[in-house]
Structure 1
């Protein structure tokens, strides 16, 4: 569950609160007038400053804080802190792609969770390659984060069906799939794909998971091709 800034202030100790204040100030500076979605290596304002980084030229300070969040604020709060940093910075597609490419699984998960909160992404589906990459992994943390509201809004029908199947393959609870009931309802092609998957499991002597039965029932509702 993501926590607000106010909730974090009540939970963090003095040192972590001070670190978060400085990190958010740096991120907000990166989103200041004229800064936009600056690439790594660009100079910054006093609050959106950059620092030399071996092999990368210079890196915005807030991006370094993004990576430090788990260590400085605790792993239980890392997602919340990272989402706050991304939104404060107004991170665009270029920044998200850079952070995703060099990030750990935990950092990538937070980035995926943040996508529906970053309303300024242009074009609106600009971060889909990150969602698609996460769905190609077998990391259940990334798969669960990838099928959130951003995927529900922007994945095309074919890709969304395969995302649902990916959840079933990897054991991700389908409750993680945003807008599942609306998108699955009456989807005859999804129903066929799920029925094939169920048949494969039965032939292999494996039980059909309840989530599969649940989604199959949704996909069969009002479908003329069940």
Structure 2
């Protein structure tokens, strides 16, 4: 399933291949909901709930194409807090980490989960980078980190369409324009093409892209 979070239970159910997968999802979501209603318990790095086993097994039961959506639904149903999200991210596979990143806008109001975005942006995994630059990053990354996130997308080939609120945050950003111009000049000097996305981002800052020989 393409990356279009947030998903609904109906969206996901319609995509599942058979009744067994839908029954598995119903039980997994019910388990997550029970965990959300349970009294809080003393937490530790080793604390986990049964729904987290379903979080890990989502691809096996519902298909890899649906795993992002299923995992995101489970996190939302369980009302996972930053501590749980951080643990699942640290201990999870790349696919599980991606689901945590996609769920952040629905679960975390403030910047207290920015460390997860920062970690994803230090990788060269394009699916993690793409998930990291969504609405949560747009709302909570500081200007310096956000500019470097845009450059990271260009370095790794992640389309800038993945960057939430790109036009809003890029508008009038002279420092981003400088960074983009410097990167374009480096590519031009190395005889490499300048990505169309770079020119588009530069235009959004209010600067006009120059021809490669002018950079």
TM > 0.5: yes
**Displacement of 1:14:** 1.2
Contact 1:201/1:208 (8 A) holds in 2: yes
Contact 1:66/1:82 (8 A) holds in 2: yes
Question: What is the distance in 2 between the residues matched to 1:8 and 1:181?
Answer: 30
**Displacement of 1:219:** 1.2
Pair 1:26-2:31 in alignment: yes
**Displacement of 1:220:** 2.6
2:179: which partner in 1? 193
Pair 1:139-2:139 in alignment: no
**Displacement of 1:17:** 1.1
1:201-212 mapped onto 2 (5 Å cutoff):
201-212=187-198
1:102-141 mapped onto 2 (5 Å cutoff):
102-118=91-107, 121=108, 124-141=110-127
Deviation per residue, 1:146-167 (Å, 9 max, x gap) = 0000000000000000000000
Question: What is the distance in 2 between the residues matched to 1:186 and 1:208?
Answer: 21
1:84: which partner in 2? 73
- TM-score, normalising length: structure 2: 0.89
Question: What is the distance in 2 between the residues matched to 1:20 and 1:61?
Answer: 14
Any gaps of 5 or more consecutive residues in structure 1? Answer: 42-55
1:154-173 mapped onto 2 (5 Å cutoff):
154-173=140-159
Contact 1:185/1:221 (8 A) holds in 2: no
* RMSD (CA atoms): 1.8
Contact 2:28/2:51 (8 A) holds in 1: yes
Contact 1:147/1:178 (8 A) holds in 2: yes
2:211: which partner in 1? none
**Would you say how many aligned residue pairs link Structure 1 and Structure 2?**
203
Contact 1:161/1:190 (8 A) holds in 2: yes
2:212: which partner in 1? none
Question: What is the distance in 2 between the residues matched to 1:7 and 1:145?
Answer: 20
Structure 1 counterpart SS, 2:153: helix
Deviation per residue, 1:31-82 (Å, 9 max, x gap) = 105338x6358xxxxxxxxxxxxxx4x6310111000000100011111101
Question: What is the distance in 2 between the residues matched to 1:6 and 1:60?
Answer: 25
Contact 2:177/2:207 (8 A) holds in 1: no
Deviation per residue, 1:173-212 (Å, 9 max, x gap) = 0000000001001100100000000000001000100000
- TM-score, normalising length: structure 1: 0.85
Contact 1:109/1:141 (8 A) holds in 2: yes
1:60-79 mapped onto 2 (5 Å cutoff):
60-79=49-68
Question: What is the distance in 1 between the residues matched to 2:15 and 2:119?
Answer: 34
Question: What is the distance in 2 between the residues matched to 1:215 and 1:21?
Answer: 43
Contact 1:40/1:60 (8 A) holds in 2: no
Structure 2 counterpart SS, 1:31: helix
